[in-house]
Amino acid sequence: MADILPMTRPAPSQPVVERLRQRIVEGLHAPGDKLNERELSTMLAVSRTPLREAIRMLAAEGLVELLPNRGAVVTQMSLQDVADTFELIAGLEGQSGELAAQRISNAALAEVQALHYEMLAAFTRRDLPAYYRLNALIHQHINSAAGNRVLTQTWANINARLQALRFRSNLDEAKWQRAMDEHGRMIELLAARDAAGLRQLMVTHLLHKRDAVLELMQAGTAAPEEQSA
Domains of the chain: 16-74 (1.10.10.10), 79-219 (1.20.120.530)
Percent of the chain exceeding pLDDT 90 equals 57
Amino acid identity for residue 23 in this structure: R
Is pLDDT at 179 greater than 80 in this prediction? yes
Assign 221 a pLDDT band (cuts: 50, 70, 90): low
Q: 3-state DSSP helix/strand/coil percent for the chain, to nearest 5?
A: 70, 5, 30
Mean pLDDT calculated for residue range 14-43: 86
pLDDT at 224: 40
Q: With H, G, I as helix, E, B as strand and everything else as coil, classify residue 135.
A: helix
pTM for the model stands at: 0.76
What is the distance of C-alpha 39 from the center of its chain?
A: 25
Neighbour-count burial of 134, counting CB atoms closer than 10 A to its CB (0-12 exposed, 13-18 middle, 19+ buried): buried
Q: If you write DSSP's letter for every residue of 154-197 in order, what string do you get?
A: HHHHHHHTTHHHHHHTT-SHHHHHHHHHHHHHHHHHHHTT-HHH
Q: What residues have CB less than 8 Å from 91, skipping those under 6 apart?
A: 203
- For residues 211 and 220, what is the distance between their CA atoms, to the nearest angstrom? 14
- For residues 88 and 169, what is the distance between their CA atoms, to the nearest angstrom? 18
Assign 5 a pLDDT band (cuts: 50, 70, 90): very low
Is pLDDT at 228 greater than 50 in this prediction? no
pLDDT at 89: 95
pLDDT at 171: 73
Is pLDDT at 227 greater than 60 in this prediction? no
Q: What residues have CB less than 8 Å from 47, skipping those under 6 apart?
A: 41
Assign 14 a pLDDT band (cuts: 50, 70, 90): low
Assign 60 a pLDDT band (cuts: 50, 70, 90): confident
